[in-house]
Structure 1
Amino acid sequence: MTDFNTALDLYLHGDRVGALHLWRLLAEQGDARSQFNLGVIHDQGDGMPEDKPRAAAYYRAAAEQGYAEAAFNLALMLDDGDGIPADVNEAARWYWVAAEAGNPQAQFRLGLKYDTGEGLPQDAEQAAQWYYRAAEAGEAHAASNLGRCFAMGEGVPRSDVDAYKWFFIAAELGVANAARYRERVARELSAADRLRAGEAAQAWLRDFRARKG
């Protein structure tokens, strides 16, 4: 058993003092997993008072080693000014790191940054591409935003069939307004196109659920 797993075992069995001691030693040696775990503990105040600046410092140490979850959590803190000074430009940088590593929530947030021009140059094509990557991974709000991109022709060629498909998927994944948007788009489609788009959405959902097990 590695020292990290020894600490994890102590933590899971209620020995937070012993776990924190080991994780701090490992974090000082540059272990990204330990840095991330300490970031979470200080971020959430798990067994101790919250310490957002210290949490951000641990997240940053792990993020600088490419640890995707730490990069995402740091980006959220910077985006919201959660206990540290807000910095939307730096937040976008860390969303990028996490998004490139495959984090769907970071991909969605990066799409939003390109969509709104907050922290990055506004770029509809980049927004649509990141929404697509996040939506393909099952990020529901990214699917809804991608539907809007197709409905409006923002960053992608306008396509009511594709808009219907992604609004259908977003609705099935739980986005409250997506069904209403889907029905609005449906008015622009022939019966054959609605059937084709609905079948494509259902096929996507079957494949996604199979992948998720």
Structure 2
Amino acid sequence: MTDFNTALDLYLQGERAGALHLWRLLADQGDVRSQFNLGVIYDQGDGVAADKPLAAAYYRAAAEQGFTEAAFNLALMLDIGDGIAIDANQAAHWFWVAAEAGNPQAQFRLGLKYDTGEGLPRDAEQAAQWYYRAAEVGEPHAANNLGRCFAMGEGVPRSDVDAYKWFNIAAELGVANAARYRERVARELSPAERLRAGEIAIDWLREFRVRRG
């Protein structure tokens, strides 16, 4: 049994002090799982006083070794100033690291960065591409924003059929305003186009639910 798992067993048994002691030792030796766990513990104040700067430091240590979840959590803290100074450029960087590793929420937020020009040069095509990557694996807000991209012709060729499809998908995945946007786009479609776009969305959702199990 590794020291990490020894610490995990102690933690699960409620022996927090022993677990934290072992994880700190391992984190100082560069163990990414220990660094990440300590980041979460100090971020959430789980059994210790919350310490956001310390949490960010542990996240950063793990992120710099390629730990995707740590990169995403650090990006979130930097993005909103969660106990640390806001740094839009650094937030965008760590969102990019997590997005490249396949994190759908990071892909969506990186799309937002390119969409708004916050922390990155504004780039509608990059925004649409990252929204698409996130939407394709079921990130609902990315699907909604991708629908807007198609409706407005921002970063992609304007297509009411594609806009209707993605708004439909976003609505089915629970985005509150997506149904309203879908109905606005529907007014621009012929009955045949609306039927086709709806069928495409239904097929996508069926395949998505099969993939998700």
State the TM-score bracket (shorter-chain normalisation).
Answer: over 0.9
For residue 143 of structure 1, report the CA deviation from its aligned partner: 0.4
**Corresponding residue of 1:187:** 187
Q: CA deviation at 1:104?
A: 0.6
Deviation at 1:14, TM superposition (A): 1.4
1:2 corresponds to:
2
- Name the aligned partner's letter for residue 109 of structure 1: R
Q: Are 2:70 and 1:70 equivalent residues in the alignment?
A: yes
Match in the other structure for 2:36: 36
Q: CA deviation at 1:161?
A: 0.6
Task: Report the residue type matching 1:159 in the other structure.
Answer: S
Instruction: State the alpha-carbon separation in 1 of the partners of residues 137 and 171 from structure 2.
Output: 15
Partner of 2:152: 152
Q: State how 1:1-213 maps to structure 2 within 5 Å.
A: 1-213=1-213
Query: For 1:88-115, what per-residue CA distance to the aligned partner results, in whole angstroms no more than 9, with x for missing partners?
Result: 0111000000000111111010000000
Q: Distance in 1 between matches of 2:177 and 2:99?
A: 26
Deviation readout 1:150-189 (Å, 9 max, x if unpaired): 0000000000010000000000000000001001101111
Q: CA deviation at 1:2?
A: 2.0
Q: How far does residue 7 in structure 1 lie from its aligned partner after superposition?
A: 1.6
CA distance in 1: counterparts of 2:201 and 2:13, whole angstroms: 44
Q: Indicate the SS of the match to 1:41.
A: helix
SS at match of 1:131: helix
Gaps of 5+ in 2: none
Q: Which runs of 4+ in 1 moved over 4 A?
A: none
CA distance in 1, matches of 2:6, 2:202: 45
CA displacement, residues 109-146 of structure 1 (integer Å, 9 cap, x when unaligned): 00000000000000000000000011111111000000
Q: Distance in 1 between matches of 2:9 and 2:199?
A: 47
CA distance in 1 between counterparts of 2:29 and 2:148 reads: 47
Tell me the TM-score normalized by structure 2: 0.98
Count of paired positions = 213
TM-score by length of 1: 0.98
In the aligned structure 2, how far is the partner of 1:29 from the partner of 1:206? 47
Distance in 2, Cα, partners of 1:57 & 1:207: 40
Tell me the percent identity. Answer: 85
CA RMSD, aligned part only? 0.8
Whole-angstrom distance in 1 between the partners of 2:165 and 2:5: 44
Q: What's the CA shift for 1:86? A: 0.9
